[in-house]
A and B are shown apart, each in its own frame.
Chain A
Amino acid sequence: MTLDGIAQQSVAHAGLPVGAKDAIVARGIDKYFGEGEARTQALKNVSFEARFGEMLYIVGPSGSGKTTLLSVISGILRPNAGTVQVKGEQIWNMSADDIAGFRLHTIGFVFQDYHLFPRLTTAENVAIPLILQKRSWSEALSEAKRYLKVVGLEDRAHLPPRKLSGGEQQRVAIARAIVSQPDVLIFDEPTASLDGDTGKAIVHFVRHEVLTDKRCIVIVTHDARIYEYAHRILRMEDGQLKGVEDGDSIVGD
């Protein structure tokens, strides 16, 4: 059975909504870095799909290509070969500006180090995607406060991020990622800077409060403690997809 076949089979067992549609379809992705003798292949013929209503993990050791794959499927890093379809759109057929616009409206990001602006208030940080979407300042701020309430930080709206704990900063980053109601959410090592309990609480929150039938969440992680929240887990090694498993089974293992 091919890896594509494995992926399809695992979808059927992952507890996903019946008839869930593909949010992301990646086919035959190759990615190289460097030139000449220094050229290395970071991704080798990677194919998979992620569905709406699904929380998909990409796991593997350092250097296995997880972050590169994340960047390719989110329209940040152009692959050398292969196609990526997000919400039915072939993103790598678009111009750079169109891809940026597509990301802004369709994909939300939660970065490993959060990358919150220290000189802005929490609410202003959350409002950034809406401001980039050309919404007015007051409208964006009002919407941001609404989403801070969703993540339980409505009383922190006026504070700068440095006054918040790591877990709270992570929740601010989540609020910023979801404020524009994207269809796809990308998390890069969401628990890397958090202690075990806080990390699990954050991912629990994401699974139960952020994930909806109309949203797909892709998480790159090393943290085996949060595998239980995944519908499926893609295991990467040396730039290749080595296996696709459902979250429960891998926890059992």
Chain B
Amino acid sequence: MQLKAFTGETLLAYKLLVNDRTKFAALLLGITFAVFLIVMMMSMFAGVLQRSSSTVINVGAKVWVMDPAVNTPANSIPMPDFVLDAVRSMSGVRYAVPLYSGVGQVKLKDGSFQAASILGLDDSSLFGRPKLLKGSIEDIYAENGFIVVRDADYVKLQNPAMGAEFEINNNRAVIVGIAKVTISGLFGIPTLYTTYNRAIQYLPQTQFTTSYVLVEPKSPADVPHIKQEVTRLGYLALTEQEFIDNTSRFYEFHTGLGMNILIMTMVSFIVGLSISGQTFYTFIIENLERFGALKAIGAKGNELVAMILFQSTFTALTGYGLGIGLCTGLIALAKARLPDYAAIVTFPSLGIALVMVIIIVAISSYIGVRRVLRIEPFDIFRG
């Protein structure tokens, strides 16, 4: 019986709302547009953040040892060899291997140059190797052997096939495998894998060569001890997630990118609030006398409030769904056309957009509810 009663008043509120097609469309447009902008902004940012940690995710080491001044995986600071030896000798370390991470200029067949990210894997273990689509991982030991990643930037190396040759710093390089990785890099350059020793032979050297030491702890419980020991050495050990988080924080708070996204998100919120708030307010004002008539007939204040809240919630959720749909649709379309497109829709961005929509609805409803509660049925008689 209660459910039936609720349905009657809810249906009444629903019809009052959607039958006013122009205003309902304007309300939906406002919220959809706001949600679309909010989610789009945050999705692009999330995509950038995810790609900024692509090396960390693709290599997949549990603990990364690095110079404390490192901000992102791309700007590694080489460490002396003793760090690797010291880490290997720490209790709780199952094994530790070096990783070289750098950028080289690749000279292509037509004589043009293309920058490429080069990762040198530990010669004995090849820890962090990518999944091969073509070729065998052992071939990386072959003379001048390199594995190329087939991602959105693969084309920039002129789509090299197995056996393709090019030069890196006047050294001959041969493609011995084609691989795929989980996430492409942020900077739009192709990725090559080779052995650690070949990488440090091919690329210009600083005094030290080890970019990172990748650590496999014996158990997760050993990680705090390893971090402590590495700190005593004067270096920094981070878990994979900590390294990703540090990288994200750097882009969020030290590059201006985060502030720009925040400003755009707030602008979207204000635009959505303005359009929806104004339209909902007009909707309430135009129906104010009729709400007064409902009061005179015998509707209680809380029933009218429930009707208004239903109307605003229904509009908000519909607009939210449309906004998310529009955003994901456009991102999917963009990714189909532009393989380098970095945006990803994340649960936090969906949550933040929902919270902002709820705030928009709460403010719009509050204004409407106040007006409706203040109208006196006597005013209806007085005209």
Give A contacts to B, CB under 8 Å: 67, 70-71, 74, 76-77, 96-97, 100-105, 107, 109, 111-113, 115-117, 119-120, 124, 128-129, 131-132, 134-137, 140, 188
Contacts and interface: CB of A to CB of B under 8 A. Distances in A.
Contacts of B297: 103-104, 109, 128-129, 132
B78 to A, nearest CB: 71
B19 A120 contact: yes
A238 to B, nearest CB: 18
A120 B382 contact: no
B377 interface: yes
Given A100-B295, A100-B298, A131-B9, 15 more contacts: A71-B381, A100-B299, A103-B296, A103-B297, A113-B383, A115-B290, A115-B380, A120-B12, A120-B19, A124-B15, A129-B297, A134-B1, A134-B5, A134-B9, A137-B8
A135 B8 contact: yes
Main secondary structure of the interface of B (DSSP, over half): helix
A117 B16 contact: yes
Q: Categorize the interface residue count of chain B.
A: 20 to 34
A113 B380 CA distance: 9
A179 B86 CA distance: 90
Nearest to B299: A132
Given A67-B382, A101-B298, A117 B4 contact: no
Contacts of B9: 131-132, 134
B303 interface: yes
B15 A134 contact: no
B381 A111 contact: yes
B378 A137 contact: no
B93 to A, nearest CB: 70
Contacts of B381: 67, 70-71, 76, 111-112, 188
B8 A71 contact: no
A131 B296 contact: no
A111 B292 CA distance: 11
A-B interface, 8 closest residue pairs, ranked by CB to CB distance from nearest: A104-B298, A134-B5, A119-B19, A115-B293, A131-B8, A103-B298, A136-B4, A76-B377
Contact of B294 (A96, A132, A134): A132
Contact of A97 (B11, B296, B300): B300
Contacts of B197: none
B8 A136 contact: yes
B110 interface: no
Interface string B340-383: 00000000000000000000000000000000000011101111
A112 B383 contact: yes
27 contacts: A71-B377, A76-B296, A100-B295, A100-B299, A100-B300, A101-B298, A103-B296, A104-B298, A109-B293, A109-B296, A111-B381, A113-B289, A115-B289, A115-B293, A115-B380, A116-B290, A117-B287, A119-B16, A119-B19, A119-B20, A128-B297, A131-B9, A134-B4, A134-B5, A135-B8, A136-B7, A188-B381
Interface string B1-27: 100110111011001100110000000
B12 A131 contact: yes
Contacts of A115: 289-290, 292-293, 380
Contacts of B20: 119
Q: Which of B9, B292, B298, B378 has most chain A Cβ within 10 Å?
A: B298
Contacts of B11: 131, 137
Given A70-B381, A111-B381, A132 B15 contact: no
A193 to B, nearest CB: 11
Contacts of A109: 293, 296-297
Contact of A101 (B15, B300, B301, B378): B300
Nearest to B298: A104
